[in-house]
Chain A
Amino acid sequence: MALPWFESMPVFADVGKPKTEGGDAPKRLGVLFAGNGFHSKEWWAKGQGKEMTLGKVLAPLESHKEKLLFIRGLYNEEALKGNIHSSMTGNLLSGAPLAPGGEIRSGTSVDQVVAQRYGRDCRLPSLVLGCEKANPSVHKNYSMLYSSHISWSSPTAPTPLEVYPALAFDRLFKNDVQLGEKSVLDAVLEDAHDVRRRVSRADQQKLDEYLQSVREVEQRLDRAGKRGEFQGWRPTLTELNMDRPADGYPQDVSEHMRLMSDIMVLAFQTDTTRVCSLKLNNDHSSLRFPHLGVDYMIHHLLSHADTQDWLKVNQYFVEQLAYIATKLDAIQEGERTALDNTTLLFCSSMLTGSHDATQLPVVLVGRGGGTIETGRVLDYREKENRKLCSLFLSLLDKFEIRLPSFGDSNERLAEV
């Protein structure tokens, strides 16, 4: 049975209003996901700071070594249950159990917890981007929706991915409120309340997605045109420095990823949102990479082995992270760069292409507004407390969201 929508609202009673002191730039969270894990021999980092050495998969991050935190050996208990692929992805950022049998239920993901807390401070609570359309089928008793969505705004509502660059761009910058629009939203909201009275409680929970969506759009209308009035800090960029991407779905994967990366940076730089996830591909993906000379089905045929082709594709994904980090690092926000104020979490559904999720690949880039000590390698393989959700609790702390537990964990990772 689905949980009531309200359960997904974090218990924030113990959390104060996050502070953005005077001229301090806000903290941002960016999540990048690449499915099917990485080359098993080349996913590693050793040493500290400048002396750090990186495996070949991570080579594109060479210039960001000092702003990077490599974490090894974390795992997600729930991902080991259920099925391969879909059940390893749909709960990656929540640690929640997934409902099988054609039902849909996961948990609110860590990025959306942050978004729901910070959302009212900027135009968009969050931006959820993707470079591959969702797969509309049920695979081995689990909906493929799980393998297509990492961001969940409630346990039953995955946040839809925006895969069209032009539409993602429009979401950032369309700022016009049409006369009467507010009245329309009020009216449909009232409709929804009426319908809610007539349907079963199970259906009411479903309808709450609609209610919440209307409320959020209304809030957005309220905030339209008021950017910069929420806090003392003003974004460094108020004018666009990027053309609107062409309409439609880009045929070229590299162009697609580059555009989405640019939009993420732009969203942060203009303070349109502070939370953004970018799903570079689906787990169980069928993206091809002709521009890398790798033109075959990635899933099974490509990822199940440590081939050179696989390494190329891995590096290509990490290059996107490096690209975003480099752009953010070039944006000066007072004493610090935007990268210093951001946490970029790079992750995958499994460590290697052969479905091994006993430990998960995690890299953090950026200093989280000075809350994260970077230039380090942490190894939890031998430790007792090595839950991915513990890392999420630590990260939430850094966003001043202090929860007693998250997913399957009630501990923090002390070292992070």
Chain B
Amino acid sequence: MRPFVTFSLALLCGLALTFGADDAFPALADQYESEVGLLVEQRCVSCHDTATQKGDLDLEYFTDLAAIRTAPDIWQRVLEQVTSGEMPPKDEDPMLPEQKAVLLDWVNDYLRAEALANAGDPGPVVLRRLSNAEYTYTLRDLTGLPSLDPANEFPVDSAAGEGFTNTGDALTMSPSLLEKYLAAGKQVAAHAVLLPDGFRFSNKVSRLDWSNELVNEIRGFYRRVMGADAVDFSYRSQVGNVVPADVREGRLDLLPYFAALLAHREELSQNPAGIQQVAETADLNPNYAANLLRVLLAEAEERPSLLNELRSLWNSIEQDHPEELVAWVRGWQDRLWTFNPVGHLGGYVHPWQAAINPVIARSDLTHRFKSAGESTVSLQFTSRALGTATDDDEIVWEAPRIVRTGRSPILLRDLEQVSSGFAAFRERTLASLGALLQAAFVARHSDGAVDTKFLADNYEVDSKALHLVLQALGLVGGRAVITGHLTEPHRNVGQKAAISAWRLPDVKDLSFVSNASDQSLNIPGEAPPHSILVHPHPEHWVAAGWQSPIGGKLEIAAHVQGRHGCGNGTKWVIQHQRGDQLRVLREGVISALQKANIKLITEARIEIGDVVSLLIDARDGNHACDLTEIDLVLTESSGDVPRRWSLREDCADSLLAGNPHHDSHGNLATWHFYSGQDRDLPVAWQKVPEDSLLDRWMKTSNSGEASALGTRVQSLMTGEASRDGLSGPDLAMIDQLEAVDGLLFARMDFSEWALPTGTVTEAFGQTFTVEGHLVTAADERIEMELPSALLDEADLFTTGVFAKSSTGDVGVQLAVTDGVKDAPMMVMPGSSAEANLKLAYAAFREVFPAAMCYARVVPIDEVVTLVLYHREDEPLKRLMLDDAGRETIDRLWDELLFVSRDAYRLETALEQLLEFATQDSDPAIFKPMIEPVASGAMALSRRMLKTEGAQLNSLLNFAAKAYRRPLSMEEGHGLRGLYHKLRSDGLDHEQAFQLMLARLLAAPAFLYRSEAAPEGVTQGPVTAWEQATRLSYFLWSSMPDPALTEAASLGRLADPEELAAQTRRMLGSFKIRRLAKHFACQWLQVREFDTFNEKNEQLHPDFEHLRGAMYEETLRFFTDLFQENRSVLSILNADHTFANSTLAEFYEFPPVEAGSWQRVKEVRAHGRGGILGMAATLAKHSGASRTSPILRGNWVYETLLGQHLPKPPKGVPTLPDVIEGDFTARQVIEQHTSDPGCAKCHAKVDPLGFALEQYDTVGRLRAERADTQTTLEDGKSLEGLAGLRDYLVEDQRDVFVKQFCRKLLGYALGRAVRLSDSVLLDQMMDSLKANDYRVHVAIERIVRSTQFREIRGEPLAQVKP
């Protein structure tokens, strides 16, 4: 094998420095004229004369050195052709060796001199359009959107120069390409999101997606501040859940704070500044930790203070029990805060987190007596004062009374008399039951009305007792009886002190509710100020009943209105009950939020004891969101001052005062809150047990039998007769007749034994006022023992208020049991105690908001949500953020509201809702929104108009980035001018803005890397911006990053040291993978190997799944080479590579974890290492069905070593693709290339390829041993990949390294390497040799070179090719 042509200046460098290049030319001119010129004329010009110009070559022209120097490239060709023996042709006489030596020596000397004379010539670099890859990377870097791929379907770029697609010559422009650029620019512009102060790019193209990105950013911000990174926002979707559950909803977990503060309690007391360190160590928000500490260390306040209580807790508590502090705080948080739903009408009506002051002016108290079998039951009245009470501070316990279902209450002061009176009466009655029944028998069989008085006199029985008997047997009418009273009082419903309710045990959702406050409250569903609301259950209606204390004509009005917008509405009924008779007066249905239109009922005839009630039932069994506001108003039709009863007025502020509830006319049991399941019938009353003696008495018409039965019953009741062996019905009958609430005595009116009103009474050791009130001191507890006879399952009701004499300086907690701990604080309205308490609560709330922010941002707590984004983060901003944080969150919110255009959306939504509301419900509820929504939309319009200028400015800044240099003034004017032109063309701001972006991205300054040629000089430095662009596109195939741009703007890039420093920085970036791809892979001809589809699918079905990994290996190998500054020789002899599990299996490496890439060492043992052993290169240079040693050899020869093969002969015989018979690819080729015409080339390349025959056509190691022993053209023998590798690394090291340098330089410069680059190439080689072949050395040499830093001047650009 002949020596490869490696033109080296190494030897000459010293000489050149001493004498200067130009000094060599006179001698060369002399030698040419005297000797070499003659030789050329004799041996070459016969064919290559001016007339013939064989091979387009005219050597006759070169009469002297001056002529030769105009075309040194021709003499490079002469050198190549003669050296390789191509010339003179085979059919001519060969040159004498000494002639040849003279010619070659001279040409060599001449070329050296020429190279030196022009060393550092920047060369002709044609204006470069961005290649498709550069265009794509630049757009990605410019927009920050790594997924953009606009050039995906652009025409493929061609290569020129040293074979790379970044060379200007091959980067053409055409109308269709320009249209594609415009279209791609528009696509990119669609990703632009306009912001108040400019714009940014988003991966998405819809406004909704942009808004969601911001929502997620805001949520992420909240999460980070509150220390809940891992929590997502998958909110529970059920309607009505307004209590935030945990940290994800904006509640801060206080435990770590108190834990850390307690742990460092002593040191922090000494050194509060230490909190920063403590917070950092415990990963706490430092601002909140400091705020907490400040509160804990503050001086105690003089007025009543919750925080004082906290401080003493903090100072006394054990250090390892922070949870006690947390529980204390949490308890108060729950009492002093409430949450409203913010969907639907949202924050326009009330905030999400609202303060509540659980102070009350009166305490409605209830106590249920339990049956204990004792003769007495104890009862306490407890009043605990907060503050110092004086003697004037007294509590009035209004009319403590005992209520049994269905009958008049018994005042506590009367209990003793009533108990004993009733006991005596019952005894008398039962003892005369026989006579009573006889009288009743008569009544039963007489026609016409029963005259009880007459009968009683006649039979000598008590007329009241007789009346009871007649009523029990249904022989006379009587009071309507209401059962099904709601028995469970609930205070502070939903943490709202003003909300009270009556409920039934075990019936979920059923409730009778009132709002006692002046403000509308959400519970959920709207509770207007001072209102009564009910919520039915699918199987239970709920009702308010008015039991008439009078007889006469009345006017009845009712109000029914849905107060929760999400359900299907409710059914309502107004009915009148007298005795057992039931009559429906009005009924109807409403839909959600609808108000029922109920016609007034006039002239209704009512008797004492009648009941008028308003029932609310679930509609169609669906009770979701059935909260319904009700009122029932009854007015006397006549009288001087007609009396009036209103459910709302009588009960809304004192709902729990009793059930039955008093009215405003002094009647204690007028209003009844009750429920039932069957609406068609009156409530069931006790019945005579069937088959009992009494039942038989009822059925007989025989007076004798009746009399006998009556006597028998009486004797059983008095105990004269034995009850042994009685039937079940009879035992039941006995119970019914005996029980206080049984058949006989249920209608007993206890008021008979009550003391007359207007007397002061002593009872149970206490004094009761004339009204029956009990008065105690503000700080007192009294206890009394009550006879239990009538108390079994009865309720005590009373209401505690301050006596008028009280000072108002204290607050009290009241209870009718022992415990006042959790009782709400009662103060006199407008008192100083009230003011102080509110201050104390406010101070607590200041530091301990229940939630720091509304972290979900998007409300989902209502089915219909008008408000899309709700901001509430004042506590977070105040307590947890520093200025920068506040600025960030303000900016994010500002952007969200701006980007989402929420104000417009809201306006439209509200309009629709109003339209809907007028048809179906009261539009008044939306009224509070109309004005703010309209002005919000107007503000947005003004804002958008105002921000147009800022956006346009930021577009100009963007233009400078896109153009990779500052804009000229004219360009700035031009861009603004175009914008205004577009607006006047009729585009709106956003359309014009997007089109402007598209225009910038189709501008020559973006698409081309233009460089100004200095005038009047042969060459000169490029500008700082051009230099930055050169460097960035060389290393990153993209625009300069901010650091490089800054260096350029500061003028630092003129300094080669700075340029080198930037280079080193950039080599470490991930973007260097682009150099691996577009330089290394393109050089090795495996770029885009992941889409290489030239393999026979039948023979290699797995290839499609392997090629991606094969390509990735090569990319990673070279990325690593550049990033880690590895040896250029490692390209051939590395003992490592990169593999994933797929590739590791293919290469038979030890397994690699699935889904990851690993650097694998000692791969030579597996026949790999370096590019010779990579599947990508081996497969690429093979046939579709079999290997091709020719292609592989040619690749080594031309691509790796940079050698050129002679022109192939005409009429080449062919090779079969699928080898038939027992021949290997090698044998077939050897036979084929034995043809002397073919051998000329094949002898050079085939042996190189044979060495790689152990690898099949997709690069897999063949199972069986292949013949890889080969002898090169120069007689060198080697075997297999290892032999070839050693040969290249050792014997051909300089040739290979030079080829690498040449390709790298050509890639860096964007042109073919020229003779004038020889000095630089030699410098690169020398530096590599001296530095262990570290690749950075070569790159730095290029970056520091004149070629890389200068550009040809205008005169030279025209003269020289």
Binding site for B on A (CB under 8 A): 1-2, 81, 83-84, 97, 101-104, 125, 128, 133-138, 140-141, 143-145, 148-149, 153, 156-164, 167, 171, 178-181, 183-184, 187-188, 190-192, 194-195, 198-203, 206-207, 209-210, 212-214, 216-217, 220, 248-249, 286, 288, 290, 295-297, 300-305, 307, 353-356
Main secondary structure of the interface of B (DSSP, over half): loop
A-B contact pairs, 18 of them (CB 8 A): A81-B55, A104-B158, A134-B157, A137-B163, A138-B161, A143-B158, A156-B172, A157-B173, A159-B174, A162-B176, A179-B991, A180-B982, A187-B1003, A199-B1010, A203-B126, A209-B172, A217-B175, A297-B1184
Whether B182 is near chain A, meaning CB under 8 Å from some CB there, is yes
Decide yes or no: A136 and B1004 within 8 Å by CB, A145-B170, A190-B974 being known contacts.
no
- Once the chains bind, are B160 and A102 in contact (CB under 8 Å)? yes
Which chain A residues border B1004 with CB–CB below 8 Å?
Answer: 188, 191-192, 195, 207, 210
A199–B1012 touching, CB < 8 Å = yes
B677 within 8 A of A: no
User: Across the interface, do A160 and B167 meet the contact criterion of CB distance under 8 Å?
Assistant: no
Bound CA span A386–B986, Å: 60
Q: Bound state CA distance, A221 and B1155, in angstroms?
A: 50
> Which of B982, B1085, B1184 is the most central at the interface, judged by chain A CB atoms within 10 Å of its CB?
B1184
Chain A residues lying within 8 Å of B1003, measured Cβ to Cβ, are 187-188, 191
Return B72 CB to nearest CB of chain A, in Å. 13
As a 0/1 sequence over residues 1223 to 1261 of chain B, the CB contacts with chain A under 8 angstroms (1 = contact) are 000000000000000000000000000000000000000
For residue B950, CB closer than 8 A to chain A, the reply is no
**Is the CB–CB distance between A137 and B1358 below 8 Å?**
no
Complex Cα spacing A201 to B1087, Å: 34
Contact A183 B169 (CB under 8 A): no
Does A301 lie within 8 Å of B1217, measured CB to CB?
yes
**Smallest CB-CB separation from A357: which chain B residue?**
B1210
A162-B176, A301-B1217 known; A195 vs B163 contact (CB < 8 Å): no
Interface size on B, residues (CB 8 A): 86
Residue of A with least CB distance to B1190:
A300
Closest Cβ neighbor of A189 among chain B residues:
B1004
Complex CA–CA separation, A143 to B970 (angstroms): 39
Select one of B978, B1002, B1357 contacting A201, CB under 8 A: B1357
Inter-chain contacts of B1098 with A (CB < 8 A):
295
Q: Which of A212, A217, A297 contacts B1094 (CB 8 A)?
A: A297
Q: Is the CB of B1217 within 8 A of A102?
A: no
* A221–B995 alpha-carbon span in the complex (Å): 16
* Chain B residues whose C-beta falls within 8 Å of the C-beta of A140 in the assembled complex: 1198, 1204-1205
Does B1129 count as interface, using CB distance less than 8 angstroms?
no
- Report whether A200 and B178 are in contact in the complex, using a CB–CB cutoff of 8 Å: no
For the complex formed, measure the closest distance between the CB of B551 and the CB atoms of chain A, giving whole angstroms.
Answer: 84
Query: Considering only CB atoms, which chain B residue lies closest to A287 in the complex?
Result: B1094
Q: For residue A356, which residues in chain B have a CB less than 8 angstroms away from its CB?
A: 1210-1211
- CB <8 Å contact, B1207 and A83: yes
Residue numbers in B under 8 Å from A143 (CB-CB)? 158-160, 169-170
Q: Which residues of B contact A149 (CB under 8 A)?
A: 158
| Total A-B Cβ pairs within 8 A | 240
Q: How far is the CA of A101 from the CA of B1197 in the complex (A)?
A: 18
Query: Do the beta carbons of A202 and B1184 come within 8 Å of each other?
Result: no
Q: Is the CB–CB distance between B162 and A288 below 8 Å? A: no
The answer to whether B173 and A188 have CB atoms under 8 Å apart is: no
Contact A201 B1354, CB 8 Å, known A101-B73, A209-B173:
yes
Q: Can you list, as one digit per residue, whether each of B692-728 has a CB less than 8 Å from chain A (1) or not (0)? A: 0000000000000000000000000000000000000
Residues of A contacting B1149 in the complex (Cβ-Cβ under 8 angstroms): none
Asked if B506 is an interface residue, CB under 8 A from chain A, the answer is no
Does B1217 contact A296, Cβ atoms closer than 8 Å?
A: yes
B1056 lies within 8 A of chain A by Cβ: no
Within 8 A of A (CB), among B1172-1192: 1183-1185, 1188
A323, B1097: Cα distance in complex, Å: 29
Given A133-B156, A184-B1002, also A295-B1008 (CB < 8 A): no
Restricting to B163-214, which residues have a CB under 8 Å from any CB of A? 163, 165, 167-170, 172-179, 182
With the chains together, A160 CA to B158 CA distance in Å? 10
Establish whether residues B1011 and A199, one from each chain, have CB atoms under 8 Å apart when the complex forms: yes
Q: Is the CB of A179 within 8 A of B127?
A: no
Complex contacts, A144 vs chain B, CB 8 Å: 158-159
**A210's closest neighbor in chain B, by CB?**
B173
**Smallest CB separation, B1200 vs chain A (Å):** 15
Q: Give bound CA distance, A393 to B160, whole Å.
A: 31
Confirm or deny: B1222 has a beta carbon within 8 angstroms of a beta carbon on chain A: no
| Chain A CB within 8 A of B537 CB | no
Select one of B153, B167, B172, B1354 contacting A164, CB under 8 A: B153
The 4 closest A-B pairs by CB, nearest first: A305-B1214, A145-B158, A160-B155, A304-B1214
Q: Flag if B163 contacts A171 (CB, 8 Å).
A: no
B999 lies within 8 A of A184 (CB):
yes
CB neighbours of A216 from chain B (8 A):
175
Specify which chain B residues have a CB less than 8 angstroms from the CB of A302 in the assembled complex.
Answer: 1217
* Chain B residue with the shortest CB-CB distance to A134: B156
Chain A residue at smallest Cβ distance from B1007? A210
CB-based contact B177/A103 at 8 Å? no
- The smallest beta-carbon distance between B1352 and chain A, in angstroms, is 7
The closest CB in chain A to the CB of B172 belongs to A157
B982 proximity list for chain A (CB < 8 A): 180, 183
Partner of B1357, one of A84, A183, A200: A200
Provide the bound-state CA to CA distance between A198 and B126, in Å.
Answer: 14
Q: How far is the CA of A354 from the CA of B160 in the complex (A)?
A: 26
Q: A84-B1207, A202-B124 are in contact. Are A184 and B155 (CB under 8 A)?
A: no
Q: Known: A203-B126, A304-B1212. Contact between A184 and B1354, CB under 8 A?
A: no
- Cβ–Cβ contact A136 & B157, under 8 A: yes
Give the residue among B168, B169, B1087 with the most A Cβ atoms within 10 A: B169
Q: A190 — which chain B residues lie within 8 A by C-beta? A: 974
B1225 to chain A, nearest CB (A): 11
Docked Cα-Cα span, A180 to B999, in Å, equals 10
Is B1361 at the interface (CB under 8 A from chain A)?
A: yes
Across-interface contacts of A304 in B (CB, < 8 A): 1212-1215
For B978, give its contact among A128, A138, A187, A288 (CB under 8 Å): A187
User: Does B1005 lie at the interface of the complex (its beta carbon under 8 Å from any beta carbon of A)?
Assistant: yes
User: Does residue B1082 face the partner (Cβ distance < 8 Å to A)?
Assistant: yes
Q: How far is the CB of A263 from chain B (nearest CB, A)?
A: 14
B880 is an interface residue with CB less than 8 A from chain A? no
Residue contact B73 to A160, C-beta cutoff 8 Å:
no
Name which residue of chain A comes closest to B1087, CB basis.
A136
Evaluate contact between B998 and A183: CB separation under 8 angstroms: no
Decide if B1184 touches A296 in the complex (CB within 8 Å): yes
CB-nearest residue of chain A relative to B157?
Answer: A136
Q: A203-B1013, A297-B1184, A304-B1213 given as contacts; is B986 within 8 A of A179 (CB)?
A: yes
Contact present for A134 and B985 (CB under 8 Å): no
Residue B1312 is within 8 A (CB to CB) of chain A in the complex:
yes
Confirm or deny: B1096 has a beta carbon within 8 angstroms of a beta carbon on chain A: yes
Q: Would you give the 0/1 interface string for B1318-1354, flagging 1 where the beta carbon is closer than 8 Å to chain A?
A: 0000000000000000000000000000000000101
Residues of A within 8 A of B998 (CB): 184
B158-A213 in contact (CB<8A): no
Judge whether A354 and B1211 touch: CB under 8 Å. yes
In Å, the complex CA distance between A220 and B182 comes to 14
**Minimum distance in angstroms from A59 CB to a CB of chain B:** 23
Selected contact of B174 from candidates A81, A104, A188, A209, CB within 8 Å? A209
Chain A residue at minimal CB-CB distance from B995 = A180
In contact, B155 and A355 (Cβ under 8 angstroms): no
Asked if A137 contacts B174 (CB within 8 A), the reply is no
Assembly CA distance A268 to B1184 (angstroms): 38
If A83-B1207, A183-B978, A188-B1002 touch, whether A202 touches B159 (CB-CB below 8 Å) is: no
Cα distance A137–B1352 when bound, in Å?
26
Q: B928 at interface (Cβ–Cβ under 8 A)?
A: no
Whole-angstrom distance between the alpha carbons of A245 and B169 in the complex? 33
Please state if B73 and A202 are interface contacts (CB–CB under 8 Å): no
Interface residue from A136, A167, A206, A217 paired with B126 (Cβ < 8 Å): A206
Question: In the assembled complex, which residues on chain A have CB atoms less than 8 Å from the CB atom of B127?
Answer: 199, 202-203, 206-207
Is B992 located at the chain interface by the 8 A CB criterion?
yes
